[in-house]
Chain A
């Protein structure tokens, strides 16, 4: 435990090694920063300065202009602010919820043994299939779900117990991560239909539920590794003192996992912040998010590079600030458990 809080590294490179290291790091930093520099100056270019060939230095080979900023923040400023608020709200809430629900599940998967019965799972899938078929055949979906649920409970009490073969925790974890295999293109229409039926289209709720579900597997996997690295003795002694599970979790385990939680939070936040395809379908006006605005600049007159650059810059600045603030946690927090476990 002590060693990952250390601040110094054991590798003290020789001057020659140091030079080589700086050279390689510098080259890669340039490869990263140059495209970002290009993005930055494009945001200050007039269309002519973009279209008439490459210009590199503001004030030297082109005259910077604030026209794109004027347009994005002034002319359509209200839209930009609305999209920005939506992005911030939706991703903060989604990332928080995913972290809370996901770390609970990750804790459960590392501390308890689950034995889900294969029979129960098959019965469940059968009932869902039945509900879908009934809906397709024209039965109102509320009724179809009710029938399937009733049937599920009945068969759970009767036939499902006959299949004793059970799965283990690792199967649950693999099932969770496998939910990320399906490409969004394939599931977006069914998700659209679900939220249309629930009358939640174009609301934050639809986006939040979807984002929480799509990011939960990542949270569970990262936090599961982390919880495995926390010594169990602490929890045992708390248990002997009569602390409840929830108290142990919230007062012992979570405070010990702050680095892992912060790193995971940042990852999930970035994924929600930048998500495009699901947002495109689930929103049309009120709940739209920033990535949609970026793509919308690819108008009939061709891509409006200057507006696009401004929007991308507005989008990354808050995340970069968060990354700088949280950087010390990220490096120490992430996937530490897998190394120790």
Chain B
């Protein structure tokens, strides 16, 4: 629709409009671009510079020393490698299967690009994406899915993002579908379901720390009944991770819920009525009418949540302080921790690695989606 609109209107404006009209596009767009540039471009360049240097606080101020890629070397191959990548061991059977599936799928994508004689750029892009994906999958298989392995902050972050987005999306979808029905009192549920999003994330962190306390928290009778009253979240890697994920789901399902509810309520009513008259089951209506209608919203929604989810910091920081050890530490929290230890350069390097990672996933997501949508449409 926008494409039609602009092709209709631009020549007309250019041809006969006064100066103020010709400047209108810039006047609408430029303020936003300038504000974002002002706040983002200098920090982006300066933190790139910081990630290539080492800062020391000495008498008389700050001393900056350029160290080239030393911070990155330390993270990827040096003393910090274990924190970032975890302990790598031989994957379990499940790990091997997952790895095999990813290798097959990615090589098939590359093979199709070569077979269809696509441009060199497409083939190279797919090959690079395939290599990165296989590498990341191997890392997951060899740390998370391995009996001896131990996931590092990179894998833990991806775990939070994957589990968080899946659970939040499915839960938000179910709740939105239920709330879209004609139920007396659904306005009450809508407002209640929005509440967690309204609380400051640090507040949610402390709230869940209260709830997770097995001695003084409200669930104490439950822990006693399970014989786990001496269980401490902070001592068990998986317990702590699950606590963080529960908090994350609690806080961000409302976002998915409200956007999906809006999309469901915005559907055309006529096809649904026709389907009901024709005796379609509610599953058929969902599968063939509602789901296609909410797919565009879902893709935007998942992209926005993915970008935000990679930055998760408050919950693991307050709830578990990244512990036990670094079991619940995310990349942002890791950057924050070594930044508090005044290793500003190392912190900026982690942030840049995260930037590469998220940009990779965001671009892959948009590309795969675009090719999939154009294939079906």
Contact = CB atoms under 8 A, between A and B. Distances in A.
A246 B1 CA distance: 21
A291 B202 contact: yes
Nearest to B53: A136
A233 to B, nearest CB: 10
A22 B165 CA distance: 25
A108 B25 contact: yes
A20 B335 CA distance: 45
A23 B272 CA distance: 25
Contact of B5 (A36, A110, A189): A110
Interface string A191-234: 10110000000000000011011101110110001011100100
Interface string A307-336: 010001001100110011001001111111
Contacts of B194: 323, 327, 330
B251 to A, nearest CB: 10
Contacts of A327: 187, 190-191, 194
A339 B351 contact: no
Contacts of B135: none
Interface stretch (A78-86, A159-167, A268-276): A268-276
B59 interface: no
A12 B182 contact: yes
Contacts of A303: 206, 209
Contact of A191 (B43, B174, B209, B282): B43
A316 B202 contact: no
- Interface of A, helix, strand, loop or mixed by DSSP: helix
A332 B206 contact: no
Nearest to B28: A108
Interface residues of B, number: 120
Given A181-B355, A186-B348, A136 B49 contact: yes
A331 B262 contact: yes
A255 interface: no
Contact of B262 (A38, A42, A277, A336): A336
Given A32-B196, A339-B267, A294 B202 contact: yes
Given A105-B29, A111-B9, A25 B189 contact: yes
Contacts of A176: 32, 36
Contacts of A76: none
B225 interface: no
B218 to A, nearest CB: 5
B200 A315 contact: yes
B373 interface: no
Residue of A10, A24, A105, A210 contacting most chain B CB atoms (<10 Å): A10
B246 to A, nearest CB: 10
Contacts of B358: 181
A286 interface: no
Interface string A81-115: 00000000000000000000110110111111110
- Interface of B, helix, strand, loop or mixed by DSSP: helix
Given A182-B355, A191-B43, A333-B262, A6 B269 contact: yes
Interface string A103-133: 0110111111110000000000100110010
Contact of B202 (A31, A56, A276): A276
A38 B212 CA distance: 12
A35 B213 CA distance: 13
Interface stretch (B79-87, B97-105, B122-130, B305-313): B305-313
Nearest to A107: B28
Interface of A: 3-4, 6, 8-13, 17-18, 21-22, 24-25, 28-29, 31-36, 38-39, 42, 50-54, 56, 101-102, 104-105, 107-114, 125, 128-129, 132, 136, 169, 172, 174, 176-187, 189-191, 193-194, 209-210, 212-214, 216-218, 220-221, 225, 227-229, 232, 236, 239, 244-246, 249, 263, 270, 273-274, 276-277, 290-291, 294-295, 298, 303, 305, 308, 312, 315-316, 319-320, 323-324, 327, 330-336, 338-341
30 contacts: A12-B181, A22-B183, A24-B174, A34-B218, A35-B211, A36-B195, A107-B28, A128-B45, A176-B32, A180-B308, A181-B310, A186-B43, A186-B347, A186-B351, A189-B46, A190-B47, A193-B46, A216-B32, A227-B2, A232-B1, A263-B262, A305-B206, A312-B199, A312-B203, A316-B195, A323-B198, A331-B261, A334-B263, A336-B266, A338-B296
Which 6 pairs from chain A and chain B are nearest by CB? A186-B351, A213-B39, A190-B43, A105-B32, A108-B28, A274-B200
